Structure 1
Amino acid sequence: MLYGILAATSALLLAAVLTALLRTPALRFGVLDRRRARPLPLLGGLAVVLATALVAGVGEWTGYAPLGDGIGGLLIAGLGVAALGLVADVRRVKARFLAAGTAVAAAFVVPFGELGFWAGLLALLWIVFVATAFRALDHADGLVGTVGVLTAFGVGVCAAAEVLDGLAVLLSVLAAALTGFLMHNWHPARIALGACGSLFTGFLLASAAVVVRTGHELASSTGVLFALTAVASADVVLVAVSRRVAGRPLLRGHPDHLAHRLRRLGLTPRGAALLLGGCAFGAVLVGVLAHGGWAGGSGPWWVAGAAGVVVLGLLRVPVYGARRAAAVQSAQVRAALRVRNG
């Protein structure tokens, strides 16, 4: 218990210091997120990865908090995903290569022997989906860090209930590292998580949740896993449906995510992050209660229904109109110039 508190405190402070230090080289070498209103340094995720790996590694090396069978391999696979994300932050990497690399890493952590091939394949795809969803969630100040902290605590409680102490310690260290990062990412953000940190966080959380639910019935596990990651999953569904209906490219960035639409409804950046954080807290709480058998099996499905209602409601918020109007106006100007010059 004492070591767990010390490890979490160390991870928080280390991540906070590393995040501040890595901001300067990110600016100097142009490792920036240019999709936002202002270019934002991207190496905050590297600070979270280093803090998590170093603190967890020290616990394993000293024997004070051994990770246990398979958990060290999970962390190593997560570091591989983080390295791939770091390459994507520094140089452009196509989304399909990121997904393929994440799938390869997931193949090493999914317990196919206990789940069977088809259930294991579903678990692998779900890990890739959640990792991608957390990367997409890094579109607003403070959002992915807040959701990540809440999810890490929730999955950590589930791991503790299954007497997976090493996994619970790893998740508490991750939550603490994300908290240290949030000191620099809360609006107005001075640095962002980037693909390195967001893929690492999503991969670690999804993989840990799969390990925790291994041995449980498939249908109930599906509900619990969705509840634990409801906000990130809802964001992906919202964006995919919205772009499909609007005829927009699926993989091309647009300001059409959850926080973007809430901003259009009048919320401040902090207000949007707090609201979505509150939604994540409620959904994660339902997932934890359902996992422990303290809530009815229908709880996670109520979360899914609520997420569906939110997605349908936010689909009505216009996010593409201004761009289309600008394109129409530009076309009209070009036509008028052609007429005048013709």
Structure 2
Amino acid sequence: MLHGLAAATTALVLTATLAALLRALMLRFGRAGDATPHLGGVAVALATLGVACAGPVLGVAELGPGVAPLLAASGGIALVGLVGDVRPLGVRVRLVAQAVAAIAVVTLAGLTPGAGALAVLWIVFVTNAFQFLDHCDGVMGAVAAVTALGLAVCAIAGGHPGNGLLLSVLAAALTGFLLHNWHPARIHLGHCGALFTGFLLASSAVTVHAGEPGGRTTAELFALTVLVLTDTLLVLLSRRRAGRPALRGGDHIAHRLRALGLTTQGSAVVLGLASLACTLIALQIHDGRLAPVAAVPLALVVPVAVVLFLRVPVYGPASRRRPPRARTPSGPAPHTASVDLAGGRG
């Protein structure tokens, strides 16, 4: 218990310090005109991996079986994201890297071929769904921190203390990052941090729930990730209807909340609270206090929420006529009306 608190505190302070240092270095030596650096995810990844590995190295805690490969795979995804932050990296390259890392995690988790194939697809989808969520100051950090804490509780209750410690450290690191990413953000996660966080959360969820009843696991994982899944479904449908490129931003749930009158900070708080509510439902399902059928109302809420949010106008009149500047969900913010509307990024 004391080691877990010490590890979480260390991760929080270390991430906050590293993020400040990275921001200062990028403002001094980075590209001209990049007022808000986007390599904050390096701080999150380094702090999470470093603190998690420190326990076994110092002999104060053991991570347990399966955690070391998970750390290695997540670190590899962080490196792929870092390359994408520094130079253009194709979507196919990122997807292949995620699939290979997910296959390694699923294989070591001992899943059957059928369940393993579904788990790989789910990990890749959730990884990119969390990357999509990195579009507005504070949103990704708040939602991911709450999700990580929920998964940590599930891991500890299920007899996986090593995974619980790792997820607690990740939640603390994201909280330290939020100190710099709360609106107005002074640094962004970038591909490195967004992909690392999404992959670690999704892979940890699969590892922790391997061997548990399928119905309960499905309901629990759906509840934990329903917010990011809804946001991804919303933006993909919205952009297809509007004839916009798949990576053109400005139309997430946070943007639509902003259009309805909420501030950027208010949108992050609302989404964080929504994630907390869904996480509490997932924990109740995990403890057996709620039956898996309790996730059905959440499944019904998703299409209703998508339809309602699609009715909120977020596109400018020139969105169909003028091609946008290309960017990826976690890259530097383009100067467009849609971004200004949300006070964030794409």
TM-score higher than 0.5: yes
The aligned residue for residue 268 of structure 2 is 273
Following superposition, the deviation at residue 113 of structure 1 comes to: 6.8
CA 1:31–1:204: 2 relative to 1, 3 Å: farther
Contact 1:56 1:173 in 2 (8 A): yes
Q: Which residue of 1 aligns with 2:149?
A: 153
* CA displacement 1:62-88 (0-9 Å, x = unmatched): 232211111011011000000000111
Give aligned pairs, total: 323
Percent of matched pairs sharing the same residue:
51
Q: Counterpart of 1:225?
A: 221
Spell out, residue by residue over 1:135-185, the C-alpha distance to the aligned partner (whole angstroms, 9 max, x if none).
111100000000111000000000011110011001111111111111001
CA offset digits 1:190-240 (Å, max 9, x no partner): 001111011111111111111121112323322211111111111111011
Q: For 1:67, what is the secondary structure of its paired residue?
A: coil
Aligned CA distance change for structure 1 residues 6 and 31 (closer, same or farther; 3 Å) = farther
CA distance in 1, matches of 2:309, 2:177: 29
Alignment-mate amino acid for residue 13 of structure 2: L
Q: Is the contact between residue 31 and residue 42 of structure 1 (CA under 8 Å) also seen in structure 2? A: no
Q: Please identify the structure whose Cα radius of gyration is greater.
A: 1
Q: 1:201 and 1:31 mapped to 2: Cα distance?
A: 25
Q: Partner residue of 2:184?
A: 188
Q: What is the match of residue 338 of structure 1?
A: none
In structure 2, what is the equivalent of residue 291 of structure 1? 286
Q: Counterparts of 1:121 and 1:112 in 2: how far apart (Å)?
A: 13
Separation of aligned partners in 1, 2:273 and 2:18: 28
- Residue in structure 2 matched with residue 336 of structure 1 by the alignment: none
SS at match of 1:254: coil
1:24 equivalent in alignment to 2:20: no
Distance 2:4 2:319 in 1: 53
TM-score normalised by structure 1 residue count: 0.90
Partner of 1:340: none
Kindly provide the amino acid, as one letter, of the partner of residue 73 in structure 1.
Answer: P
Residue by residue over 1:71-109, the C-alpha shift from the partner in whole angstroms, topping out at 9 and shown as x without a partner, is 011011000000000111111112221111111111111
Q: Which moves more between the two structures, 56-65 or 275-284?
A: 56-65
Q: Which runs of 5+ in 1 are unaligned?
A: 328-342
Distance in 2, matches of 1:27 and 1:269, equals 24
C-alpha distance in 2 between matches for 1:294 and 1:111: 31
The CA deviation at 1:299 is 1.8
Q: 1:80 to 1:230 in 2, by over 3 A?
A: same
Check if 1:263 corresponds to 2:255: no
2-side partners of 1:216 and 1:230: how far apart?
20
RMSD: 1.9
TM-score, normalising length: structure 2: 0.89
- Once the 2 structures are TM-superposed, how far is the Cα of residue 295 of structure 1 from its aligned partner? 1.0
